[in-house]
Amino acid sequence: MKLDEVTISRAILSEQHKIMTEYLDIDCAVVGGGPSGITCAAILAQNGVKVALIEKKLSIGGGMWGGGMMFPRIVVQEEARRLLDHFGIKYTEYEKGYYVASSVEAVSKSLAAACDAGAEVFNLTTVEDVVVKEDGGVSGLVINWTAVEMAGLHIDPLTMRTKVTVDATGHDSMIAHMVRKKGGALEIKGEGFMWAERAETNILSHTKEVFPGLIVAGMAANAVGGETRMGPIFGGMLLSGEKAANMIIERLKK
Amino acid sequence: MKLDEVTISRAILSEQHKIMTEYLDIDCAVVGGGPSGITCAAILAQNGVKVALIEKKLSIGGGMWGGGMMFPRIVVQEEARRLLDHFGIKYTEYEKGYYVASSVEAVSKSLAAACDAGAEVFNLTTVEDVVVKEDGGVSGLVINWTAVEMAGLHIDPLTMRTKVTVDATGHDSMIAHMVRKKGGALEIKGEGFMWAERAETNILSHTKEVFPGLIVAGMAANAVGGETRMGPIFGGMLLSGEKAANMIIERLKK
Amino acid sequence: MKLDEVTISRAILSEQHKIMTEYLDIDCAVVGGGPSGITCAAILAQNGVKVALIEKKLSIGGGMWGGGMMFPRIVVQEEARRLLDHFGIKYTEYEKGYYVASSVEAVSKSLAAACDAGAEVFNLTTVEDVVVKEDGGVSGLVINWTAVEMAGLHIDPLTMRTKVTVDATGHDSMIAHMVRKKGGALEIKGEGFMWAERAETNILSHTKEVFPGLIVAGMAANAVGGETRMGPIFGGMLLSGEKAANMIIERLKK
Amino acid sequence: MKLDEVTISRAILSEQHKIMTEYLDIDCAVVGGGPSGITCAAILAQNGVKVALIEKKLSIGGGMWGGGMMFPRIVVQEEARRLLDHFGIKYTEYEKGYYVASSVEAVSKSLAAACDAGAEVFNLTTVEDVVVKEDGGVSGLVINWTAVEMAGLHIDPLTMRTKVTVDATGHDSMIAHMVRKKGGALEIKGEGFMWAERAETNILSHTKEVFPGLIVAGMAANAVGGETRMGPIFGGMLLSGEKAANMIIERLKK
Amino acid sequence: MKLDEVTISRAILSEQHKIMTEYLDIDCAVVGGGPSGITCAAILAQNGVKVALIEKKLSIGGGMWGGGMMFPRIVVQEEARRLLDHFGIKYTEYEKGYYVASSVEAVSKSLAAACDAGAEVFNLTTVEDVVVKEDGGVSGLVINWTAVEMAGLHIDPLTMRTKVTVDATGHDSMIAHMVRKKGGALEIKGEGFMWAERAETNILSHTKEVFPGLIVAGMAANAVGGETRMGPIFGGMLLSGEKAANMIIERLKK
Amino acid sequence: MKLDEVTISRAILSEQHKIMTEYLDIDCAVVGGGPSGITCAAILAQNGVKVALIEKKLSIGGGMWGGGMMFPRIVVQEEARRLLDHFGIKYTEYEKGYYVASSVEAVSKSLAAACDAGAEVFNLTTVEDVVVKEDGGVSGLVINWTAVEMAGLHIDPLTMRTKVTVDATGHDSMIAHMVRKKGGALEIKGEGFMWAERAETNILSHTKEVFPGLIVAGMAANAVGGETRMGPIFGGMLLSGEKAANMIIERLKK
Amino acid sequence: MKLDEVTISRAILSEQHKIMTEYLDIDCAVVGGGPSGITCAAILAQNGVKVALIEKKLSIGGGMWGGGMMFPRIVVQEEARRLLDHFGIKYTEYEKGYYVASSVEAVSKSLAAACDAGAEVFNLTTVEDVVVKEDGGVSGLVINWTAVEMAGLHIDPLTMRTKVTVDATGHDSMIAHMVRKKGGALEIKGEGFMWAERAETNILSHTKEVFPGLIVAGMAANAVGGETRMGPIFGGMLLSGEKAANMIIERLKK
Amino acid sequence: MKLDEVTISRAILSEQHKIMTEYLDIDCAVVGGGPSGITCAAILAQNGVKVALIEKKLSIGGGMWGGGMMFPRIVVQEEARRLLDHFGIKYTEYEKGYYVASSVEAVSKSLAAACDAGAEVFNLTTVEDVVVKEDGGVSGLVINWTAVEMAGLHIDPLTMRTKVTVDATGHDSMIAHMVRKKGGALEIKGEGFMWAERAETNILSHTKEVFPGLIVAGMAANAVGGETRMGPIFGGMLLSGEKAANMIIERLKK
């Protein structure tokens, strides 16, 4: 067939313009494309929620790509094995209850599931600020190109309206920090010493709404809750993403 | 269950040690984790070839994540639509013969397929040099951690033996340049002006063995062959990866 | 009135989407927003040509803002005084035939004229490459966000179709260099010593079509033509932009 | 005519020397060349005030050039439409009360108006400190070349005497911070969450004299007043600049 | 003999894999490869303790290589002369009681002794965090490649179990700071003015267990204890390393 | 005893002043403190040659510290085992003829031997240029502090007279390049592909006087000779250093 | 005559070794080679005091070289004119009591006077810390090469004994800050707003001993005393240096 | 007396404006403020020539400040001793014919002499280009603020007319390179190996007019002439500056 560069360019512009315009008003924004964010977005989309997964980097997957000390393997414990199965990720058993998977496969399979289900991904997108109005809760995100910040440019952002936002930005818990820095009543206790077992046990209780309209998940949940550090075991991360998704599904039903 | 950090650490070390030791002697190394490299590795693995996909960055997917001008959509033409179907990537038709897909979905689905089929991914790994011995062909790769180069450290590399190597490193065609720089008889013509149609038409004829043991695919094929530039249309990339895979499958049968 | 952030965001996206889609197929692209580029674009637009002024930086005006050695004044000689009048730029006479104007006023007035006349400005936009097809002439530009390059990202570009392109990128003459680097038959002689008078006299003869579809103007014309350097006198720059515009108006009439 | 480089150089030096010497003692200094600063300087000059617009960058216009997320369009609401008309900036209506203009045209037209009216622009000029003497108010600015700071040089500044100073430096509110840092009684509350409507409504009440001799305008007014954030809607910015100008005109009449 | 690159690579991987796996569970980790750390590790190993010396840089020796002001000589006083003899380091007497040695020889001889005795060195390894569990003491270290941090990558660490840890990281006393930053009850007083004699006299009393499972040695001991600074005299450093070693040998006997 | 900071300072200055003054006129300078340089310097000193080992970095050992891919182990083949024994470096046999040693131990033991024998080490010292006079051979080195170059300072160097110089600067072969760049008749062929066996076999024939007064050793020998690359096997390096030393001992006897 | 490079090198090393060894024990160290430091050192030396002028940069003169806003002229008022005469610096009278001199001449003439009188200059030398012992006063300086800090190296310093130290490091007042940071009882009030007249009037009362053994002069005196800022008028600087010198001469007589 | 900041500022501006305007048309420009440039300018001024000494850095003195390897001493041989006496620089005799002086004193005394004699110094000034017109010789310099280049700004230069220009820019011989790069008939042979005696002997014959209107002096003379390197002996530098001055004095008499 005959190929025309301008048509290719217009195809890209038009399709993405449609998506961007439509996704400025959504049910849920999940900020941070690591394991808990991907899991959360996948399960939300699988349940019909209009969800955007916002990631500041070019690629999705965050720290999961690198496994432990650059050896690209992750460990998942018994309790979360069913989520590996849910996403179709292969694993081997190292010792009883310790399952080892390829970190690359873990990223690609869970992300493929999210895309399949209709989650829309906004990569290279930075959240600069949040919208908080009369009702005192987070009702939107102020977004910009990550490249604008990387290039040191001074450019105004745009705004996306959300019913609920998930902070899955890892131990930086960036959305929670934005809220607190501008005066929101929200305590951030910070991550504790390394103690994987305690961290894995408690992460689900830290996965909750910490400010009206803002739910924390994954390492951000533990960082806000003052929990210990977990290292390269990923079961709690996946379960936390799942729990956040389920909380939102319940809330949106009302 | 009780979780122990040292067991987690040993699980990661042992599983990856097994993989690394085993994969120092393989059938095929595909260098570069962009669209043609992923496609090539996926099809090789689906046909039982012992293949390593080597990528210098932390994440796989290369330039495909960003779509065109950071709008995360790619265009694929009619001829390559069957490969979108092969990987289960959704698309819409913009104009007749122009299919638009999510760039994020395209990466994750094709990579998931490669992992499913058993391709082993070595991310954060840089190819520093190639092995060329008496027979005058490429018979191995000299690899190192990318972090070593990024940190400006001076550390010796290790070596991986291969029967055939695919240079899928994009328009830098890094493996081809290494071969030429050290005296290999190999002409690199460089990429021409933008002219998508010609580039898409000719890429398959440029996908070939350019030096004993070295096949070029994707943009590297066009760069070595002196072909024109293609922009954000990805059909030729996928088809080139497929062709390189099929050439190797044939060769290894002998 | 009630103000809504999402409506504001959609207003911006939609208006610019309309412009971008429309301007992927134009009469003339002027690359470089310095004095000759602005003048050229202004006169083209004043004559009904569909013209895009493409500038890689955030602001338009280039080196004119800084005057000479950061003293924000420029000098214009008698021959070009009518162009100051054309744009409504105030000046004083220092010695007979030497007119001094504010460099800031010169930028803002000439740019305001270009906008008034309907020239569309694409700032923060880098030209990465040109389109050259069967007919062997420049028939389009390969564009990307400047921020992509500044941030060191690897992102595919889009393409803009043009009937004629003006290289007004200053003494770097970037478009001419792109054409030459990829094999176009085009000699670039480089700028000579400082000799303002000769440079000002000869610039008009250097303002011409140097490759099919590509006209050079301003310092780029002198750099390609091997002319001497001119320093902070701007008459020749303005006249060169005007001449390039008139050549294009003539050509497009055919 | 015969052109002489030394005459050109002397013309620039002499004209700017005249300006600099004269403008070391002025009625009003507007610091910051963004939309509110330009508007303020334009209206002051149109009313006969001897005003200097001081900008640290090479170009004037600040964040207005980039529109929203690098899409070069800005939105202005009904209340401020008359200022677009005042400067001759074209616009289209997106929805009732939302007017969209080219950000490039907005900069060039408003700046052209300021120049026309006789405002003198000092670009590439940094305000390092303020003069405060016996009477306890700001009575001058300590200025230097921006290039001195960019180059990391240690060079003494010069001093400019002012009757009133406008801090239009954006949300950094740099002059207000200087005053506070050295002990001036001045509270800076910081910018709140994004809430465009509230910000646009309240900006005029925050545009006021916050320290003897120092008026804040534009985003600096909202940052000092603890107001919410506004994003790429510019009506309030223009109105704030206008209000600051009118306050100064009144004061100088006395 | 015939040499095979893959065998060489496997030899390195396998030997180090054995070491890494084995050393994830040790008696003592000495963090910091300066003079006190090397001395401590050497004496521990000479007494049969399973000890790892962890150094973030590529080379071991720290600040000792450079002597004073880049003149590669160090001074040791009478009290510590026997440790020079213990390691076989040559010296000359400058004035009574002041012995001068080559700083290069001092590093290589003491490190050779540590290696001879079986201390295992982990260079290019960063301690990111510590493990603290129910018993409230340091029971492990969270380690990563230094290159990961230098390259700005986001990669999970692994964990090493220890019975006792020595902070010999110099005046940064990095392990002590980690403990304190995450809430451990540990006061760090900081280094005082230069006063070599007092520092050398008191360093042994500061060499002690400052938090359960954590002993400080060398400059880290003085920094935690609020002692004065010592400069390029190394007797106290060596004696502090020796004392820490002896304390640990006693403890492990129990 | 009473300790005085000024006495400590004077002790360091005086001892090093003695060394520097004495070593400005020596038998042999070995440039580069990697494995071949250390071996060469050690054997020279053990045979009574007045030798300076010059290293630009703070620490000695070069690339040997990092083993292969940051796993701190090196491999030595049968032919060079006796040099491990000579320096007292422990090793284990991986496969017949492949001996694995700790890279850290290898550095410290060989360097300790060099120091023991009286080789003087000048670390943090850069060779800027060479002295070549009437007789046309290298008769001295132009040295400076490495910190001068790192800090970007413009400071004149000093000069050291040598009877013979060894370029052991690795594959950069910096001294050979200096000689060639200033017109010395010396061909530098550059390193070839990876082929460890050939490299190890031929390195001794490349270890020779390549310009009057200049001997190349280690990777510099192979780089000048156009030999293949060797990777993390160190036998040839040690043997090359030994051969260079023996050639010099013979020459100086005359 | 015959010239020998090694003799030249030894001449430099030996002469400077003599100076360094001798100057590790002096009457007075003046830290900072700006106008007040040079003046102080010159007058001290002219009165027979053994004085070292320590400057971290390569060149002496500090901010005086650049005049005001890079225009290399300084202004001195009537009160200090006699010091211009004392150093033989030419000047012209701009208005009554305002004398303008070349900043370059001012540096070179005052520094030449200091050298003539026997002050010894240590350039490229950083003061890292101070010596404070039992008596609680500053009794020495801890010095290092500036290049060590610029190159990011970790190298131990040497120590210089002083009877009195002058902090003439400008508004950073670096020595005073060191003393305060390590617990010395010393208040540093910081520089106020620009108000040249007040600053020039009060600088002499701020020039005093602020901690036992430590006198502040020049801008450091005003910064410690909380005085206003002065800009490019240098009379107070010169007078402050003179006063500090006279105080020290008196003290040393006792 | 009463001090006014604006008067101080105007005094600086006006005095330097007078100098700049006057010095845009001079007899001789000496480019480069190292030892040969200072000497040349001093002797020219002492003979009544209107001379500008142009230096790109803030301070004058170049590489002379640092002596050899940061030890601030320089050596001058017998032949040039009279120039030390001419400038009043103190020295000691190390060996017969080798005179050692303080590098700091050497700079300040020679520069003070130049200022005394009326040479005008333009520091922080970069020569960007030269003026060459019909007669084919250098007849002017294109100058800019160094800070413009350091800050990466794009600002037009001004022009200075000269009868003769001296390139005293050191071994970069920057003016000679500018001339050659733009096509001037001028061979630059580059500096040879270190061989102080030959360099010192031949420098005077290399000090000559190498292009109409351009004389090279100091290290630039040797670099253009292909002479050997000299190191920290300064006799030849001073004599070369003197010779260049005398040649110019003769020429201007005609």
Distance from CA of F170 to the nearest CA of B (A): 11
Q: What are the tens digits of pLDDT across the range E65-115?
A: 999 999 999 999 999 999 999 999 999 999 999 999 999 999 999 999 999
E52-90 burial by CB neighbour count: b if 16+ within 10 A, else e?
bbbbbbbbbbbbbbbbbbbbbbbbbbebbbebbebbebb
φ, ψ of residue D34 in degrees (nearest 5)? -85, -170
* Sequence-ordered strand ranges (E) for B39-97: 51-54, 73-77, 92-95
pLDDT band at A2 (very low <50, low <70, confident <90, very high): confident
Q: Which residue has the tokens 């610091």?
A: D31
Q: What are the tens digits of pLDDT across the range F97-126?
A: 999 999 999 999 999 999 999 999 999 999
Question: Which residues of E participate in the annotated binding site?
Answer: 36, 55-56, 63, 127, 154-156, 171, 219, 229
Contact G182 E195 (CB under 8 A): no
Instruction: Indicate the pairing of strand H214-216 with strand H158-167.
Output: parallel
Is residue B141 within 8 A of residue B29, CB to CB? The reply is yes
The alpha helices in D77-189, defined as continuous H runs, are 81-87, 103-117, 146-150, 174-181
Selected for mutation to probe chain B from F229, F230, F234 (highest B CB count within 10 Å) is: F229
Contact E156 A190 (CB under 8 A): no
Instruction: Indicate the pairing of strand H120-122 with strand F125-132.
Output: unpaired
Q: Please determine, for the modelled complex, whether the ipTM score is greater than 0.85.
A: yes
pLDDT at site E2: 81
Number of residues in chain B: 254
Q: Give the nearest chain G residue to F156 (CA atoms).
A: G9
* Strand, coil or helix: B48: coil
Contact E8 F98 (CB under 8 A): yes
Q: Give the nearest chain D residue to G197 (CA atoms).
A: D133
D15 appears as a binding residue in the annotation = no
Count Cα atoms within 13 angstroms, Cβ side, for B54: 30
What is the percent of chain F where pLDDT is above 90?
Answer: 98
Contact E9 B131 (CB under 8 A): no
Q: With 0-12 CB in 10 A as exposed, 13-18 as middle and 19+ as buried, what is G205?
A: exposed
Contact B105 A123 (CB under 8 A): no
Chains B, A in contact, 3 or more Cβ pairs below 8 Å: yes
pLDDT at site F1: 65
More confident call, D63 vs H118: H118
Selected for mutation to probe chain G from D144, D155, D165 (highest G CB count within 10 Å) is: D155
Distance from CA of H231 to the nearest CA of F (A): 6
Q: What are the tens digits of pLDDT across the range G76-110?
A: 999 999 999 999 999 999 999 999 999 999 999 99
What is the percent of chain E where pLDDT is above 70?
Answer: 100
Question: D61: alpha, beta or left, given left = phi > 0 and alpha = psi -120 to 50?
Answer: left
Mean pLDDT score across all residues of chain B: 97
Q: What are the tens digits of pLDDT across the range A94-134?
A: 999 999 999 999 999 999 999 999 999 999 999 999 999 99
pLDDT at site A55: 98
pLDDT band at G11 (very low <50, low <70, confident <90, very high): very high
* Strand, coil or helix: C144: strand
Contact B145 F70 (CB under 8 A): yes
Instruction: Indicate the pairing of strand B73-77 with strand B98-102.
Output: antiparallel
Q: What are the tens digits of pLDDT across the range B220-229?
A: 999 999 999 9
DSSP label of E64: G
* Nearest-angstrom CA–CA distance, G41 and G53: 6
Selected for mutation to probe chain F from B155, B162, B175, B211 (highest F CB count within 10 Å) is: B155
* Nearest-angstrom CA–CA distance, A34 and A174: 14
The answer on pLDDT for G1 being more than 70 is: no
* Nearest-angstrom CA–CA distance, A239 and A80: 7
Three-state SS letters, chain F: CCCCHHHHHHHHHHHHHHHHHHCCEEEEEEECCCHHHHHHHHHHHHCCCCEEEECCCCCCCHHHHHCECCECEEEEEHHHHHHHHHHCCCCEEEECCEEEEEHHHHHHHHHHHHHHHCCEEECCEEEEEEEECCCCCEEEEEEEEHHHHHCCCCCECEEEEEEEEEECCHHHCHHHHHHHHCCCCCCCCCCCCECHHHHHHHHHHHCCEEECCEEECCHHHHHHHCCCECCCECHHHHHHHHHHHHHHHHHHHC
pLDDT at site E152: 95
Is residue H163 within 8 A of residue H153, CB to CB? The reply is no
H or E segment and range at residue H148: helix H146-150
Chains B, H in contact, 3 or more Cβ pairs below 8 Å: no
Distance from CA of E16 to the nearest CA of B (A): 10
Domain H27-253 falls under CATH 2.60.40.10 = no
Contact F63 B182 (CB under 8 A): no
Is residue C140 within 8 A of residue C130, CB to CB? The reply is yes
Residues 6+ apart with CB under 8 A from A173: A167, A188, A216, A219, A220, A223, A224
Is residue E134 within 8 A of residue E121, CB to CB? The reply is no
Selected for mutation to probe chain H from F156, F158, F165 (highest H CB count within 10 Å) is: F156
pLDDT at site D1: 64
Domain ranges of chain C: 27-253
Q: Which of H7, H60, H67 sits opposite G95 (nearest CB)?
A: H7
D219 appears as a binding residue in the annotation = yes
Q: What are the tens digits of pLDDT across the range B161-208?
A: 999 999 999 999 999 999 999 999 999 999 999 999 999 999 999 999
Q: Could you please report the per-residue DSSP string of H35-62?
A: HHHHHHHHHHHHTT--EEEE-SSSSS-G
The answer on pLDDT for B2 being more than 90 is: no
A56 appears as a binding residue in the annotation = yes
Q: Give the nearest chain D residue to C88 (CA atoms).
A: D116
Q: Which of D13, D94, D233 sits opposite C15 (nearest CB)?
A: D94
As given in the structure block, the two tokens for residue B86 are: 């092969």
φ, ψ of residue E235 in degrees (nearest 5)? -60, -50
Taking contacts as CB-CB distances below 8 angstroms, the residues of chain B near C148 are 69-70
* Strand, coil or helix: H183: coil
Q: Report the 10 Å Cβ neighbour count for C1.
A: 12
Chains G, B in contact, 3 or more Cβ pairs below 8 Å: no
* Nearest-angstrom CA–CA distance, E197 and E188: 21
Contact H21 D8 (CB under 8 A): no
As given in the structure block, the two tokens for residue E103 are: 């700083």
Q: Report the 10 Å Cβ neighbour count for E115.
A: 29
The alpha carbon of residue H200 and the mean position of all alpha carbons in its chain are separated, in whole angstroms, by: 18
Is residue E203 within 8 A of residue E236, CB to CB? The reply is yes
Q: Give the nearest chain G residue to F15 (CA atoms).
A: G17
Q: What are the tens digits of pLDDT across the range D111-161?
A: 999 999 999 999 999 999 999 999 999 999 999 999 999 999 999 999 999
pLDDT at site E12: 97
Q: How many CB pairs under 8 A join E and F?
A: 201
Contact C157 B231 (CB under 8 A): yes
A108-139 burial by CB neighbour count: b if 16+ within 10 A, else e?
bbbbbbbbbbbbbbbbbbbbbbbbbbeeebbb
| pTM of the complete model | 0.97
As given in the structure block, the two tokens for residue F91 are: 């090793």
Question: F196: alpha, beta or left, given left = phi > 0 and alpha = psi -120 to 50?
Answer: alpha
Q: Report the 10 Å Cβ neighbour count for F28.
A: 26
Partners of residue E126 on adjacent β-strands: E144
B63 appears as a binding residue in the annotation = yes
D127 appears as a binding residue in the annotation = yes
pLDDT band at F254 (very low <50, low <70, confident <90, very high): confident
Taking contacts as CB-CB distances below 8 angstroms, the residues of chain D near A182 are 190-193
pLDDT at site G2: 82
* Sequence-ordered strand ranges (E) for chain D: 25-31, 51-54, 73-77, 92-95, 98-102, 120-122, 125-132, 138-145, 158-167, 209-211, 214-216
Is residue B235 within 8 A of residue B77, CB to CB? The reply is yes
The answer on pLDDT for H153 being more than 80 is: yes
Cα angle F127-F191-H194, degrees, rounded to a multiple of 5: 25
Contact H156 C67 (CB under 8 A): yes
Q: Which of G63, G67, G194 sits opposite D159 (nearest CB)?
A: G194
Taking contacts as CB-CB distances below 8 angstroms, the residues of chain F near G25 are 6
As given in the structure block, the two tokens for residue F120 are: 């003087």
Q: Which of A191, A192, A231 sits opposite E157 (nearest CB)?
A: A231
Complete edge-to-edge strand list for the sheet that includes strand E98-102: E73-77, E98-102, E92-95
Is residue D37 within 8 A of residue C234, CB to CB? The reply is no
- The low-confidence residues of chain C, meaning pLDDT below 50, are none
Q: For residue E215, give the nearest of E6, E40, E21, E35 by alpha carbon.
A: E40
Contact C6 A124 (CB under 8 A): no
pLDDT band at H1 (very low <50, low <70, confident <90, very high): low
Q: What are the tens digits of pLDDT across the range F73-82?
A: 999 999 999 9
CA dihedral D234, D236, D239, D240 (to 10 degrees): -120
Contact B61 A65 (CB under 8 A): no
Q: What are the tens digits of pLDDT across the range D73-102?
A: 999 999 999 999 999 999 999 999 999 999
pLDDT at site C254: 83
* Nearest-angstrom CA–CA distance, F213 and F167: 10
* Strand, coil or helix: B135: coil
* Nearest-angstrom CA–CA distance, F187 and F173: 12
CA dihedral E190, E195, E200, E204 (to 10 degrees): -30
Q: Give the nearest chain E residue to G128 (CA atoms).
A: E194
> Residues G196-214: what's their mean pLDDT?
97
Selected for mutation to probe chain A from B7, B13, B15, B109 (highest A CB count within 10 Å) is: B15
* Strand, coil or helix: G208: coil
What is the percent of chain A where pLDDT is above 70?
Answer: 100
* Nearest-angstrom CA–CA distance, G70 and B111: 59
Residues 6+ apart with CB under 8 A from G93: G99, G100
Q: What are the tens digits of pLDDT across the range H46-82?
A: 999 999 999 999 999 998 999 999 999 999 999 999 9
Residues on chain H bordering chain C, Cβ-to-Cβ distance under 8 angstroms: 129-133, 140, 142-145, 148, 153-159, 182-183
Taking contacts as CB-CB distances below 8 angstroms, the residues of chain G near H98 are 7-8, 11
Q: What are the tens digits of pLDDT across the range D211-240?
A: 999 999 999 999 999 999 999 999 999 999
Selected for mutation to probe chain H from G115, G126, G195 (highest H CB count within 10 Å) is: G115
> Residues E162-172: what's their mean pLDDT?
97
Contact B104 A88 (CB under 8 A): no
> Which chains neighbour F (Cβ–Cβ under 8 Å, 3 or more pairs)?
B, E, G, H
Terminal CA-CA length for chain H: 51
As given in the structure block, the two tokens for residue D20 are: 């600099």
A178 appears as a binding residue in the annotation = no
* Nearest-angstrom CA–CA distance, G184 and G136: 9
* Nearest-angstrom CA–CA distance, E28 and D76: 67
F63 appears as a binding residue in the annotation = yes
